[in-house]
C-alpha cells in the first residue's frame, strides 16, 4: 500500500460531492461520475443539489497542481492514477421493494477493471450486512484477477449526509469506519479522521458497520410508523395528534416523533435492505415490515381524508381542482428521491381530481422524468382542496384565503406547519 493517498470518489450526488470537497482540501482527489452533464456542471462550480459548500468547492479546486485539490472527470481511464476508491453510488429498491444493487455492482465492475495491487476500496452506499464482502468483492476479484485481502482491500463507512441540513454537515457528524483487516481498518479510520471534525468510531468489522447504517434508519422508520398509526387512530377518535404528542411530551423521557410521509433515499429504503437480509437467512421480520406498511400507506390516508372532507363540504369530487404544495421528500431541499407525495397525487387522480403541484425547490425536468408530473410555475387560485405536503419555508408566506375557491375549500396540513385555524385537518 502506498503511504500517499490519492482518492477517487465514485458518484457525485448528495453523498459523494461533499466528501470529494472535504478530501480535496487535503489530498489529490478525483470526483468521478458517469453523468457527463454532472461533471460539466461541477467543473463550472455549480451544483443543482445545493449540497456543495461553494467556498469549500472553490478552496478544493483551487489547490489543483499542488499535490492536493479536486478534479472532476467521467473518464474511467483516469481512475488508474488513484489508489483509494470511495463508492457513493445510489442503492435504491425496485418496484417490488427489493434491494436494487445494479448501480453498486456496476461501479464495482468498473473499478475492478482499473484495480491495482495495494488499492483500497471503501463503500459508503447503504447496503445490508454482508453485501460488501459477499456481493461486491467477488465482482472485484473476477474482473481484476486480484485476490481480496492479499492484493487489494476493502472498507465500509456508511454515509450520514442529511440533505438540506446546513448545520449537521459532513465534518460535524461522527463517522463509522471499518476495514477488511485490522491494519486496513486503521488506515480507513485515520483517513476519515483527517477530515471529520466530530471524530470517528471504528467498528469491529465491515458487517457491523453495514448493520449500523441499516438500523439507524430502520429505528427511525419504526418510531415514525408508531406515531403515524396513532394519527390513524386519533383521526377516528376525533382528536388532534399534534395536541396529544405535545401533552405526552411533557414527560422527560417521551420521544416527540411527528407523523408524516416517510420518503427519501434512507428512511424509506434502508429497512427493506435489512428485511431482505433477514428473510434470506430464514427470519421474517415482524416489526420492521409492519412499520413499513403503515408508513407506505400514509399518502393514501391523506388523499382519502381530503376527499371525505370535500364530500362533507358539498364538493363534487370528480373534476374538482387540488393544489399540492411540495414534491421533494423533505423541506428546503431539492431532493425528490422516493418522495411519497406521489402517493397523494396518484390517489387523488384516481378520484378524478385535477391535481396541480407546486414546488420552488424541485427541478421540473427531474420531476417530469421521475414521476411524470409537470410542476406549475406559479400557484393559481380557486382550488377546491389544498394539501401542504412539504414544509418549505417559502410556504409560510402564502395567503391561503387567496388560493381558495370560497369558504368551502379543504385545507390539509401534513406537517402541522400552517396556522391550525386555517386548516380542516392535519396529521
- Residue-wise pLDDT tens digits, 44-58: 988 988 888 888 899
Active site residue 266: yes
The verdict on 237 and 317 lying in the same domain is yes
Domain end position, chosen among 204, 237, 262: 204
**Model confidence pTM above 0.85:** yes
The verdict on 187 and 294 lying in the same domain is no
Range of the domain at 161: 6-204
The residues, any chain, with a CB within 8 Å of residue 29's CB and separated by 6 or more, are: 6, 7, 8, 9, 20, 23, 60, 68, 69, 70, 71
Q: What is the pLDDT of residue 187?
A: 97
- pLDDT tens-digit map of 279-325: 999 999 999 999 999 999 999 999 999 999 999 999 999 999 999 99
The verdict on 250 and 332 lying in the same domain is yes
The stretch 373-386 carries a mean pLDDT of 96
Q: What is the pLDDT of residue 51?
A: 80
Q: How many residues does the chain have?
A: 427
211 lies in some domain: no
413 lies in some domain: yes
Residue 268: pLDDT band (50, 70, 90) is confident
Q: What is the pLDDT of residue 145?
A: 98
The verdict on 152 and 81 lying in the same domain is yes
The stretch 62-68 carries a mean pLDDT of 88
User: What CATH code is carried by the domain that includes residue 89?
Assistant: 3.40.50.720
- pLDDT tens-digit map of 348-372: 999 999 999 999 999 999 999 999 9
Determine the longest span between alpha carbons in the chain, in angstroms: 74
The residues, any chain, with a CB within 8 Å of residue 219's CB and separated by 6 or more, are: none
Locate 69 and state its grid cell. Answer: 485539490
365 lies in some domain: yes
Domain count, the chain: 2
Residue 263: pLDDT band (50, 70, 90) is confident
Q: Please report, rounded to a whole number, the percentage of residues in the chain having pLDDT higher than 90.
A: 89
The verdict on 259 and 392 lying in the same domain is yes
Catalytic residue among 131, 136, 154, 266: 266
Residue 3: pLDDT band (50, 70, 90) is low
Q: In which element (H, E) is residue 201 found?
A: strand 200-202
The stretch 194-202 carries a mean pLDDT of 97
213 lies in some domain: no
Amino acid at each position: 500500500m502506498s503511504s500517499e493517498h490519492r482518492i477517487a470518489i465514485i458518484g457525485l450526488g448528495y453523498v459523494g460531492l461533499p466528501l470529494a470537497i472535504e478530501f480535496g482540501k487535503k489530498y489529490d482527489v478525483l470526483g468521478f461520475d458517469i453523468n457527463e452533464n454532472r461533471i460539466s456542471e461541477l467543473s463550472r462550480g455549480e451544483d443543482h443539489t445545493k449540497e456543495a459548500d461553494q467556498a469549500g468547492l472553490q478552496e478544493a479546486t483551487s489547490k489543483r497542481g499542488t499535490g492536493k485539490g479536486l478534479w472532476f472527470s467521467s473518464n474511467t481511464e483516469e481512475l488508474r492514477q488513484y489508489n483509494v476508491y470511495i463508492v457513493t453510488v445510489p442503492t435504491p429498491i425496485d418496484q417490488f421493494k427489493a434491494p436494487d444493487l445494479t448501480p453498486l455492482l456496476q461501479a464495482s465492475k468498473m473499478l475492478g477493471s482499473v484495480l491495482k495491487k495495494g488499492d483500497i476500496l471503501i463503500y459508503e452506499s447503504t447496503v445490508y450486512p454482508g453485501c460488501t464482502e459477499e456481493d461486491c468483492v467477488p465482482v472485484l476479484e473476477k474482473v481484476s484477477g486480484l485476490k481480496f485481502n492479499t492484493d487489494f482491500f476493502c472498507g465500509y463507512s456508511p454515509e450520514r449526509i442529511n440533505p438540506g441540513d446546513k448545520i449537521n454537515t459532513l465534518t460535524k457528524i461522527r463517522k463509522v469506519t471499518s476495514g477488511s483487516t485490522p491494519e486496513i481498518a486503521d488506515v480507513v479510520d485515520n483517513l476519515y479522521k483527517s477530515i471529520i471534525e466530530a471524530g470517528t468510531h471504528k467498528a469491529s468489522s465491515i458487517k457491523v458497520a453495514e448493520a449500523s447504517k441499516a438500523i439507524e434508519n430502520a429505528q427511525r422508520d419504526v418510531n415514525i410508523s408508531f406515531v403515524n398509526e396513532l394519527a390513524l387512530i386519533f383521526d377516528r377518535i376525533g382528536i388532534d395528534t399534534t395536541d396529544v404528542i405535545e401533552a405526552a411530551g411533557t414527560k422527560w423521557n417521551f420521544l416527540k416523533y411527528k407523523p408524516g410521509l416517510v420518503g427519501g433515499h434512507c428512511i424509506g429504503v434502508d429497512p427493506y435492505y435489512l428485511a431482505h437480509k433477514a428473510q434470506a437467512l430464514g427470519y421474517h421480520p415482524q416489526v420492521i415490515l409492519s412499520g413499513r406498511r403503515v408508513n407506505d400507506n400514509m399518502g393514501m390516508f391523506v388523499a382519502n381524508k381530503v376527499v371525505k372532507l370535500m364530500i362533507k363540504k358539498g364538493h363534487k369530487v370528480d373534476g374538482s381542482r387540488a393544489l399540492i404544495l411540495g414534491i421533494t421528500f423533505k423541506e428546503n431541499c431539492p431532493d425528490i428521491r422516493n418522495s411519497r407525495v406521489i402517493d397523494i397525487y396518484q390517489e387523488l387522480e384516481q378520484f378524478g381530481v385535477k391535481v396541480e403541484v407546486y414546488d420552488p425547490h424541485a427541478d421540473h425536468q427531474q420531476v417530469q422524468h421521475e414521476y411524470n408530473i409537470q410542476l406549475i410555475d406559479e400557484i393559481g387560485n380557486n382550488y377546491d382542496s389544498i394539501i401542504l405536503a412539504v414544509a418549505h419555508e417559502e410556504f409560510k408566506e402564502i395567503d391561503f384565503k387567496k388560493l381558495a375557491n370560497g369558504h368551502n375549500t379543504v385545507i390539509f396540513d401534513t406537517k402541522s406547519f400552517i396556522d391550525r385555524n386555517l386548516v380542516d385537518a392535519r396529521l
